[in-house]
A = this chain, B = another copy of it.
Amino acid sequence: MSTQQEKTNAPPPSRLSLRRHWGGDQPISFLMQQGVANPDCISLAAGLVDQGSLPAREVQAALQEMLADDHVAKRALQYGTTHGNAELRGQLLGHLAGLEHVGVDQLGVDVNQVILTTGSQQLLSIVGEILLDPEDIVLVAAPTYFVYLGTLNGLGARIIPVATDEDGMRMDALEAKLEEIEAAGDLYRVKLIYLVSYYENPSGVSLSAQRRAESVAIAQRWSKSQRIYILEDAAYRELRYDGPELPSIWSFDADRQTVILAKTFSKTFAPGLRIGFGVVPAELERPICDRKGNEDFGSANFNQHLLSQVFRMGLYDSHVAGLREMYSAKRDAMLHAAETYFGDIPGVSWVHPHGGLYVWMTLPESCDTSLDGQLFREAVQTHGVMYVPGEFSFAGERAERPNHHMRLSYGVQDAAGIDLGMQRLAAAVKSVLAEA
């Protein structure tokens, strides 16, 4: 029988899902391979947090307390619920109220609207799952968080970039896009506006307070036949070094029916615990939990107990205060190095972020920063420094994306590494510009 022969020789090809094809090879994989293949490279690319700052002592103290009681230890080692540990969710409401400077009873949500996830990434992914059919529309800033672009591509979503400036997404540009979409008869397809609200990854800018209010009003006004949600990714909120203390977009959503708030402890505590959470409109609680149930029926209960213990012992706020000081100094080191090494290169500019982990640098348009370009190759192979090509952070066809930006992170390097990395990078840029 011929099929028997096929079996022992080459099996027939796999026929994978459409989603697999939409969501295939992510640029992040290639970047990570480059990092592994060039271990002496100074990475200004990695979005990791500062290794030395990780809360080993705090975790040790909290675990010691938590595991001292056999009963508590065993509860932490048992299955949890899909929503996540109720005590921690209550603490997170308190934490959110503190950030918003209101009482918990003024938040206008109950504890069941707080859902714990595996990093905020899982919340972002699940929001896409429950809202988006292929060809449904998501509006994003240009540039925006590139990992989420990959997730949305994997769902077959249509991603529409909206112009930005130093105050984040431009609201006039957002309205203009919605008008265009409506004129094309596609308004019923618009489901989501994705906004990284604080010290955006990659651009470092924050949406101004006025635009926060406007974005909610726009989402509501354009919710004509169906709800348009805002997904507010506030990952970097607590990493504020200076500049104004901005209220969340979520705080402008009086009815709590428009904004989905995504938060994570990966930047402010420990990414290795993979704890993120969403504060979600009541109507989405069930769909999000059902989907999460199908994906993994709950993130690690042990880690949630641990973080709850960290809050109970008051170890969180002091840790974040220390992070602010440390990252603020590293931010300054990078800006200083930018001035020192790039200040004399014509046509180069960069954003001064008030928080977060990134400096967004713009080169002359003639200087191609893309993964396939000369600069990336020379930076990595000749000069020993790596950055994230700006092209990844733009939606749309690769050939049409701006490709003269770089995302530089001061997350993992110390001050000396930042200085040396920036020096090397400037040398690479000068060398490429000299040849052009």
Whether B221 pairs with A4 at a CB distance below 8 angstroms is yes
Instruction: List the interface of chain A (C-beta within 8 A of B).
Output: 1, 3-4, 6-8, 11-20, 23-26, 28-29, 32, 48-49, 51-52, 54-56, 59-60, 63, 67, 70, 73-81, 117-119, 121-122, 125, 129-133, 136, 147, 150-151, 154, 188, 191, 217, 220-227, 229, 255, 257-258, 266, 270-274, 283-284, 286-287, 289-291, 293-303, 305
Whether B3 pairs with A224 at a CB distance below 8 angstroms is yes
A-B contacts, 8 listed (Cβ < 8 Å):
A13-B226, A26-B290, A28-B293, A55-B77, A56-B77, A121-B295, A271-B301, A274-B302
Residues of B within 8 A of A226 (CB): 12-15
A322 to B11, CA, bound (A): 43
Whether A125 pairs with B294 at a CB distance below 8 angstroms is yes
Q: Which 3 A-B pairs have the closest CB atoms?
A: A56-B73, A15-B226, A77-B270
Whether B78 pairs with A227 at a CB distance below 8 angstroms is no
Whether A17 pairs with B303 at a CB distance below 8 angstroms is no
Whether A284 pairs with B14 at a CB distance below 8 angstroms is yes
A33 to B52, CA, bound (A): 44
- CB contact under 8 A between A221 and B17, given known A63-B63, A151-B294: no
A302 to B273, CA, bound (A): 6
Copies, count: 2
A284 to B133, CA, bound (A): 25
Whether B296 pairs with A121 at a CB distance below 8 angstroms is yes
Whether B79 pairs with A271 at a CB distance below 8 angstroms is yes
Whether B290 pairs with A223 at a CB distance below 8 angstroms is no
For the complex with contacts A11-B223, A119-B296, 9 further pairs of A-B residues with Cβ separation under 8 Å are A3-B222, A14-B226, A16-B130, A17-B130, A26-B294, A54-B74, A78-B271, A79-B271, A274-B296
Residues of B within 8 A of A297 (CB): 28, 119, 121, 147
